[in-house]
Chains A and B, each alone.
Chain A
Amino acid sequence: MALITEVAFHAQMRKRKIRGYVFYALCLTAVALGLLMLAALLYNVLSEGLSRLSWDFITNFPSRFPERAGIHAAILGSIYVVSIAGVVAFSLGVGAAIYLEEYAKKGTFASFIQLNIANLAGVPSIVYGILGLEIFVRIMELGKSVIAGGLTLALLVLPIVIIASQEAIRAVPPSLKEGGFALGATKWQVVRRLVLPYAFPGILTGAILAVSRAVGETAPLIVMGALTFVPFAPDGPMSRFTVLPIQIFNWVSRPQEGFHVAAAAGIIVLLVVLLTMNAFAVFLRHKFQKGTQW
């Protein structure tokens, strides 16, 4: 062979093989490091906080004394705020997705809206807090209330709902819609009775993703005025409030060891809530995917 001699090739091949093994090992190390960090985080949180979990912890209010601190106010606040955010984001988001996929003419205006949504998805969450502070709290005079917080979070997770719902609606086969139109159905009838049921698993997944995101958000709510020390339960949509992540933040920021333990326990509660929601999402998705042949 004019190219290289046999001997040279084998030496080269050995080097190339060794490089291959080294690289493979490097890749595995990278993956392992990521997994290791996750394991370390979970282990740390569980070992610190598991013992602190108790029924008292869930029903107590925050206190100056670490042993007596509880997450009751935070849990209630989270439930209220996230519910409002979820309902608002879901209805507006699915509506927007339906419009963009089924009604809008593909042109510059539709692409402009799409560009907007893509950019909004990338805006830092704290900026939404600033927006909420100015619009909902001050201009609309809702105060630093549960409803202002809910609306702020709704705006934050809206792009998630829209993008996921759009993908789900886009996946509906055109033949299904054509069949409906051929029977004389109107646009809305086709959408409501054919498209949405088919796209439902994907839309639901998007909704749960959005709610999961909302549950974990801290910065935007702090900026629009959620409290970090709330020794009472929110008593209505106009009430001041705190949420679970903010409570954790508050406890982590205190110097006393006892509060750090409380923070770990709070994190466990938060992670359990998120895990349950995501497991529920997976379960629902499986359940509905079987039933698209109706």
Chain B
Amino acid sequence: MLSQYSLGTNSRKGLNGDYMVTTENNLIIETKNVSVFYGDTPAVSDISLGIEREKITALIGPSGCGKTTLLRSFNRMNDLIPIARTSGEILFEGHNIYAENVDPTEIRYRIGMVFQRPNPFPKSIYDNIAFGPRINGFRGNMDELVEKSLIGAALWDEVKDRLRTSGLELSGGQQQRLCIARTLAVEPTVILMDEPCSALDPIATLAIEELMRDLSKQYSIVIVTHNMQQAARVSDYTAFITADERRIGELVEYDDTRQIFTNPADERTEAYITGRFG
């Protein structure tokens, strides 16, 4: 099942015309002509694409081209920056999360985020994971939920007998898995990952990649990565985003990962993945 979206002045149109909307909702997130501005300067412009359910979608491209900005617009984290402004629509489960009366806080736990540098709270492992459910009003069995989340993040065995120790005492890779467990605890449908392995060593990276494949059976994952091999290894779909001379990010090509890496349609994509630039 392939949906092809590519916009921008020089890119190829999709199979069924230049913009395809699916009404049968195999898309968990759809962006429609989304641009993000910092003040008056656009960071990304006119991005339209759809994220497939329960698949891993990678956003690749050279640094500074707006991949992270785009990712952060999915859970309205850009709202935390006073001068940031988003135009266009982003549909989550068919509802526009940038509509007038939507409170960003309401969508954020449903679209979880894992950051580039692991950022566990200076609390115990248990409290790190319990934080999200507690503030969102969870009244069930917290111990069970903590265990379930840690199992889901492939961390349970390593920390099960030191749940009350500080999260900061874990290694880098373990901290990142703790952050993933923390996100799982609030039962999101989408997990956004912003270069989750860039601060980790290769062994920890492989562990996280394996975890990602496991998680995609239940969650839809969008990952921003600099590491093309990682994108090729892990993702089902890949979007290539780059910036022109005006430093404005645009979506160049979006396709099945195999396609992108073996037979890219746009010459810019080809130049990037063969290492000729970026």
Contact = CB atoms under 8 A, between A and B. Distances in A.
A1 B103 contact: no
Nearest to A12: B137
Interface in B173-203: 186-187
Contacts of B187: 1-3
A14 B38 CA distance: 30
Interface in B94-112: 103, 105-106
B195 to A, nearest CB: 28
Contacts of A12: 136-137
A17 B139 CA distance: 19
A3 B187 CA distance: 7
A4 B138 contact: yes
Q: Is the interface of A mostly helix, strand, loop or mixed?
A: helix
Contacts of B103: 13, 17
A1 B139 CA distance: 13
A183 interface: no
B133 interface: yes
Contacts, number: 24
Contact of A4 (B105, B106, B137): B137
A12 B109 CA distance: 14
Contacts of A16: 105, 135
A254 B255 CA distance: 88
A13 B105 contact: yes
Contacts of B133: 3
Contacts of A2: 187
Contact of A3 (B105, B106, B138): B138
A9 B110 CA distance: 12
Interface residues of B, number: 12
B218 to A, nearest CB: 12
Interface string B136-180: 111110000000000000000000000000000000000000000
Given A1-B187, A3-B133, A3-B186, A13 B106 contact: yes
Most chain B beta carbons < 10 A, residue from A1, A3, A17: A3
A9 B133 CA distance: 11
A2 B185 CA distance: 11
Contacts of A17: 103
Interface string A10-51: 001100110000000000000000000000000000000000
Contacts of B186: 3
Contacts of A3: 133, 136, 138, 140, 186-187
B79 to A, nearest CB: 15
A182 interface: no
Contacts of B138: 3-4
A139 interface: no
Interface centre among B103, B105, B136, B187 (most CB of A within 10 A): B136
A12 B138 CA distance: 10
A123 interface: no
Interface of A: 1-4, 8-9, 12-13, 16-17
4 nearest interchain CB pairs?
Answer: A12-B137, A3-B187, A4-B137, A1-B187
21 contacts: A3-B133, A3-B136, A3-B138, A3-B140, A3-B186, A3-B187, A4-B136, A4-B137, A4-B138, A4-B139, A8-B137, A9-B106, A9-B136, A9-B137, A12-B136, A12-B137, A13-B103, A13-B105, A16-B105, A16-B135, A17-B103
Given A3-B138, A4-B138, A9-B106, 19 more contacts: A1-B187, A2-B187, A3-B133, A3-B136, A3-B140, A3-B186, A3-B187, A4-B136, A4-B137, A4-B139, A8-B137, A9-B136, A9-B137, A12-B136, A12-B137, A13-B103, A13-B105, A13-B106, A16-B105
